[in-house]
């Protein structure tokens, strides 16, 4: 089974295909051809995920999966939230802005969230779900793996940041991987594809 991933991010499709292969599903995620850059003007992760999934379906008229994710910090009222990718102009500056805003704040609780939407070839929502990874904001960056806010995201019940995990370790606990596993379970239980 092939599913179009509503993204233009090679890294993301590689990460998702690795998780799928590891779990033994006969599914391949592929990127849409050409430029894929729909306007994400929803007010929630779910709304933006649906916008992207529908845009990928419009292009391909086949199975399409979209994810929309970001970092939510309790004491900043859920910010950067849906603005995670545009909170500042570079990943480094985004981290600096968060650390600055958290300077005198004791409650550092935060979570990554990922909303996924699966659209069927008829253009209907087949399944939608969320994955959440809980943690807190560190006082300084640490670790070199991953991307985005990983160096300042301390994992719950651990002294490591997300950027101190290797790819396999991150794939076991990440918001994206948890949401993806729900989608894969659904696909398997609905017999859209057989588990190998
Ligand atoms: P996207 O919806 O997956 O493109 O993610 C939006 C933004 O959220 C990214 O540009 C990152 O800033 C942030 N983000 C999402 N997932 C992660 C993650 O696993 N680690 C670090 N930052 C993330």
Query: 126 C-alpha to center of ligand 1: Å?
Result: 24
**Burial classification of residue 138, based on how many CB atoms lie within 10 Å of its CB (0-12 exposed, 13-18 middle, 19 or more buried):** buried
- Position 196 confidence tier, pLDDT thresholds 50, 70, 90: very low
Compute the distance between CA of residue 23 and CA of residue 35 in angstroms, rounded to an integer.
Answer: 30
pLDDT over 80 (residue 193): no
23 in contact with ligand 1, CB cutoff 6 A: no
pLDDT over 50 (residue 146): yes
pLDDT over 90 (residue 57): yes
List, by residue number, the catalytic residues.
68
- Using one digit for the tens of pLDDT, what is the confidence trace for 1-46? 999 999 998 988 998 999 999 999 999 999 999 889 999 999 999 9
Query: 100 C-alpha to center of ligand 1: Å?
Result: 19
Whose CA is closest to atom 22 on ligand 1?
148
- The residue to mutate among 95, 134, 148, 151, having the most atoms of ligand 1 within 8 angstroms of its beta carbon, is 148
CA of 174, closest atom in ligand 1: 19
Could you tell me the pTM of the whole model? 0.94
Query: 196 C-alpha to center of ligand 1: Å?
Result: 30
Q: What is the pLDDT of residue 194?
A: 54
- For the chain, give the percent of residues with pLDDT over 70: 98
All domains of the chain in start order, with CATH: 2-189 (3.90.950.10)
Q: What is the pLDDT of residue 180?
A: 97
Whole-number Cα distances in Å, 45 to 115, 139, 144: 6, 27, 27
- Using one digit for the tens of pLDDT, what is the confidence trace for 164-175? 999 999 999 999
Averaged pLDDT, 93-101: 98
Is there a cis peptide before residue 180, judged by omega within 30 degrees of 0? no
């Amino acid at each position: 089974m092939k599913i179009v991933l509503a993204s233009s991010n090679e890294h993301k499709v590689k990460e998702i295909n690795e998780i799928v292969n590891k779990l033994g599903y006969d599914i391949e995620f592929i990127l849409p051809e050409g430029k894929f850059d729909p306007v994400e003007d929803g007010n929630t992760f779910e709304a933006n995920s649906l916008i992207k999934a529908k845009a990928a379906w419009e292009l391909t008229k086949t199975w399409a999966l979209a994810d929309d994710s970001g970092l939510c910090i309790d004491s900043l009222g859920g910010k950067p939230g849906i603005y995670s990718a545009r909170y500042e102009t570079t990943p480094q500056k985004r981290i600096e802005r968060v650390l600055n805003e958290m300077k005198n704040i004791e409650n550092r609780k935060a979570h990554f969230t990922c909303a996924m939407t699966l659209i069927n070839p008829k253009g209907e929502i087949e399944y939608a779900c969320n994955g959440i990874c809980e943690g807190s904001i560190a006082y300084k960056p640490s670790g070199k793996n991953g991307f985005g806010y990983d160096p300042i995201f301390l994992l719950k019940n651990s002294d490591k940041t997300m950027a101190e995990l290797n790819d396999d370790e991150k794939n076991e606990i990440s918001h994206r991987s948890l949401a993806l596993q729900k989608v894969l379970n659904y696909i398997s239980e609905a017999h859209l594809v057989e588990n190998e």
